Structure 1
Amino acid sequence: MESGLPTNRNEGHGVPKDGSWFSQFRNVSNPWMARYVYAVIFLASNLLAWAVRDYGHNVFPEMEKLKNCRGGRGCLGAEGVLRVSLGCFAFFFVMFLSTARTPRMYICRDSWHSGWWSAKIALWIALTMIAFLVPTFIVQLYGEIAHFGAGVFLLVQLVSVISFITWLNDCCQSDMISEKCRMHVVSLATAAYVICIVGIIMMYIWYAPEPSCLRNIFFITWTLVLIQLMISVALHPKVNAGILTPGLMGLYVVFICWCAIRSEPAGENCIRKAEESNRTDWLTIISFVIALLAIVIATFSTGIDSQCFQLQFRKKEEPAEDAVPYGYGFFHFVFATGAMYFAMLLIGWNTHHTIKKWTIDVGWTSTWVRIVNEWLAVCVYLWMLLAPVIRLRFRQTSEAA
C-alpha cells in the first residue's frame, strides 16, 4: 500500500533517511510535502486547458470524434477549457468533501490527504476524461457557476493578502522587535510609496497618452484617490495603523489596476503598442507563462492560509500537539475555486469568447472584474481598520447607557 496509518508519530510525518522528495511522497504521509503534489496536479490542469484551447485541433484530433464534441466545437476552444476545469474542480471538490474538518493527524483522513497518490492521480485523470463525455448543457451550466466560484476565489485571496499585510505590520509593531524593525519598516514603507507613485506615473504615460483616454484616466486617478484614502484612515489618531500597511496595500491596488488595464482588448488607442501585429513574440509567451505560474502560486499560498479566516470568528486557541498543520478542507476548497478561476482567465470571463493564442485574462469583462476587485480590496482593508474602532465606540456607548 502506498500509504496507511503510521504506527508512530515519527514514522508518520518524519523525514526518510535518504531525505528524497520521492520517498516522502511514496512512503510516508507528509502534509507539508503533499501541498506540492496538489500544486503540480493543478498546474497540469492549467497546461491541459491551455493546450485544448490553443492547439486542441492539432494535439487532440481524436476529440473531434466524440459525440459530445460536435466535430471539436464542444470539446475544444472555450468549451474545452471549461471541461478541463470541470474535471479539476470535481477532483478537488471530492478531496474537499473527504478531508473537511479533519481534526488531527495520524487518522485515516489525514493519510488520505497526504498519501495514496496513485489512486488520487487516477481519480483526477478519470474525472477529467469524464468531463469530456458530459452533455454540453452541463458544461455551459458549469461555466455560469464558475463565474461565481472564481469570484469567491478572488475574495478569499483578497482576505488572505490583507491578513498577511496586517500580520506583518503587527509583528513589526510588537514590543519585542519594534525598536529593531523601526528603520526596516520606514525603509520598506518609503519604498512602497515610491513604487506606487512611479507606477501611477508610468500607467499615465503608457495607458493614458491622450486626453481622450477617459476610461483609463479614471481608473488610474481613482486608484490614486483610494491610496490617499487608505493612508488617511490608517494614520488617523483613532486608528493608528502605522505607515506600512497602507503602503503595501497601495502596491497591491496599483498592481491590480495595472492588470485591469492590461486586460483591455488589443486595438485600443489608449494602450500603446496595441496596434502592433498579431504575431506571437517571445515577450507574449513569457508574459503568459508568468501569468500561469502566478495562478498556481496564488492558489497554493492562499490554500494554506485557513487561519486568517478562522481567527475572524473564533477566539485564538493554542493548537493541539497533533493538530493538522493547515486546514485540509479549506486547502482543497481554494483549489476547487481556483479551477473555476483559471477557466475564467483562459476564456476572458466569457464562455462564448474567442481569445488569442498565448494570451490570458483579456477582454472587457476581465478588465471590470479586476477593477471591481481593486475597489473591493480597499473596502475590505478599510473595514479591517475601522471595525475595532467601531466596536470600541459601540461598547462605550452601551456601557454609558
Structure 2
Amino acid sequence: METSTSSNPNERCTISKNSSWCSQFQNASNPWMARYVYALIFLAANLLAWAARDYGRGALREMERLEGCNGEKECLGGEGVLRVSLGCFVYFMIMFLSTAGTSKLNETRDSWHSGWWLVKLVLWAAMMIFPFLLPAPLIQIYGEIAHFGAGVFLLIQLISIISFITWLNDCCLSDKYAERCQIHVMLFATIAYVICLVGIILMYIWYAPQPSCLLNIFFITWSLVLLQLMTSVSLHPKVNGGILTPGLMGLYVVFLCWCAIRSEPAGDSCIRKEEPGNRTDWLSIISFIVAILAIVIATFSTGIDSNCFQFRKNDTPAEDDVPYGYGFFHFVFATGAMYFAMLLIGWNSHHVMRKWTIDVGWTSTWVRIVNEWLAVCVYLWMLVAPIIWKSRHADSTREIP
C-alpha cells in the first residue's frame, strides 16, 4: 500500500486511495449504511429542538446578543423549535435537490449521497446555526408553511403503510404462498382483531368513564364503526380483499384514535392525567423518548419506501441501480423536519408545552383524528378503485361498435 508523507490532507487522500479513512469522506460508501447516518443526523436535530424548547432558556443566554432574537425570547421555546426545524429542513432540501434523479451507483450524485460525510456534517452544523440569525417574522412564516409540510409527511407515511399492508396481503394470497400462509394469515388476522377490540374496550374504560365524555365516546365508537366498515368492504365478493388487511388497518386506526385522545390537554375529567406542574415523572420521560424514537423510525422507514409511489414497477432492476430513491428519501426527511416541529409545539407556535411532553393540545387531537379518517378513506378507495376502473373499461368497450 502506498503511503504519503505530504502535509496536505487532500494530497494524502489522493495518493492513498485505498485508505479507509480517506475513502469514508472522499469516495462513495455503502448507500445502505448512509441511511443510518442520516437517521442519526435527524435524531440529533430532534434532540436539539427539544433542548431549545425545554432547557434553552437556562443554557443559551448568549442568544441575547443575536439580532434576530430580541432578548432571546424569540429564539427559545416554540420558536426555538421552529428555528432548529428550519435548519434541518433546509439541509435535507439541499440533499434532495442535489440527489434527485440519481439512478445508477458510482456516479457523482451517488458519491455525494453516500460519502463526503465531513463536508455534510459541517453543512448540517451551519444549517443549525443559520436560522438563529434570522428575524422572528421569517420564522413565523416558516411555522405556517410547516403545517402544510407536516401534512404532506403524514400523507406520505399513510400511503406507505397502506401499501405495505396490501403488499403483505398480496404476498400471502399469491399462488406461491397461499397454501403455506393460510394458517398464518388467519392467526395474524385473529390476533389483530382481538387487539383492536381490547384496545377499544380499554379506551372506553380509561377515556370515557362518564356519559358526559361525549367527544371521546364519539371518537372511540366511530373507530369501531370504521373497523366494521373496512372489514365489510374487504370481504365483499366483488372486492375479495381477505381479512388480513382490514385487521392490520384496524390496528392502525385504533392506534391513531388512542394517540388523538392522549393528545387532549389535561384538566378534563375524561382524561386521567396528572395536573400541570413542574414535576415530571419517569413515565412521562419514557413516553417522550419513545415518541422521539418513533418519529425517527417512521421517517426512516417511510423514506426508503419510494417504490410505493412509482407508477411503473421494475421487477428486474440492474445491478448498478440505486437501492432506493435518494431524492425521495431526503424529501421525506425534509417534511419530517416540519413534522417533528409541529409535534413539539402542539401544532401551534403560541402554545406553551410542558417539559417532556410532545403532541399535546386540541389541534394535535384533531390532526390525529382527521389522519385516522383519511387513512380509512384511502384504504377503502384502494379496495374499490380497481372495480370502478374495471367497470368503466367494460362500459367503454361495449360502446365501441
Fold equivalence (TM over 0.5): yes
Q: Name the CA shift for 1:175/1:25 in 2 (closer, same or farther; >3 Å).
A: farther
| AA at the equivalent of 1:210 | Q
State the Cα RMSD in Å: 1.9
What corresponds to 1:8 in structure 2? Answer: none
Deviation at 1:315, TM superposition (A): 4.9
Normalised to the residue count of structure 2, the TM-score between the two structures is 0.93
Q: Deviations over 1:149-182 (max 9, x none)?
A: 0000000000000000001101111111111111
CA distance in 2 between counterparts of 1:399 and 1:226 reads 36
| AA at the equivalent of 1:351 | S
What corresponds to 1:364 in structure 2? Answer: 362
What corresponds to 1:85 in structure 2? Answer: 85
Q: Deviations over 1:17-69 (max 9, x none)?
A: xxxxx999556521000000000000000000000000001122211221211
CA distance in 1 between counterparts of 2:276 and 2:86 reads 35
CA contact (8 A) 1:152 1:337 kept: yes
What corresponds to 1:19 in structure 2? Answer: none
What corresponds to 1:391 in structure 2? Answer: 389
CA contact (8 A) 2:102 2:322 kept: yes
After TM superposition, the runs of 4+ consecutive aligned structure 1 residues lying more than 2 A away are 22-28, 273-278, 313-318
324, 327, 337: which one aligns with 1:326: 324
Structure 2 unaligned blocks of 5 or more: 1-9
CA distance in 1 between counterparts of 2:70 and 2:170 reads 57
CA distance in 2 between counterparts of 1:64 and 1:221 reads 51
SS at match of 1:132: helix
Q: Deviations over 1:81-140 (max 9, x none)?
A: 000000000000000000001021110000000000010010011011111001111111
Q: Name the CA shift for 1:24/1:108 in 2 (closer, same or farther; >3 Å).
A: closer
CA distance in 2 between counterparts of 1:64 and 1:340 reads 26
What corresponds to 2:353 in structure 1? Answer: 355
- Does 2:71 correspond to 1:71? yes
What corresponds to 1:241 in structure 2? Answer: 241
CA distance in 1 between counterparts of 2:105 and 2:314 reads 20
SS at match of 2:55: helix
Deviation at 1:320, TM superposition (A): 2.2
CA distance in 2 between counterparts of 1:107 and 1:274 reads 56
CA contact (8 A) 2:45 2:85 kept: yes
What corresponds to 1:144 in structure 2? Answer: 144
SS at match of 2:133: coil
Deviation at 1:72, TM superposition (A): 1.3
Structure 1 unaligned blocks of 5 or more: 6-10, 17-21
Q: Name the CA shift for 1:273/1:355 in 2 (closer, same or farther; >3 Å).
A: closer
Q: Deviations over 1:2-24 (max 9, x none)?
A: 9x99xxxxx9xxxx8xxxxx999
Q: Name the CA shift for 1:25/1:196 in 2 (closer, same or farther; >3 Å).
A: farther
Percent of aligned pairs sharing the same letter: 72
What corresponds to 2:171 in structure 1? Answer: 171
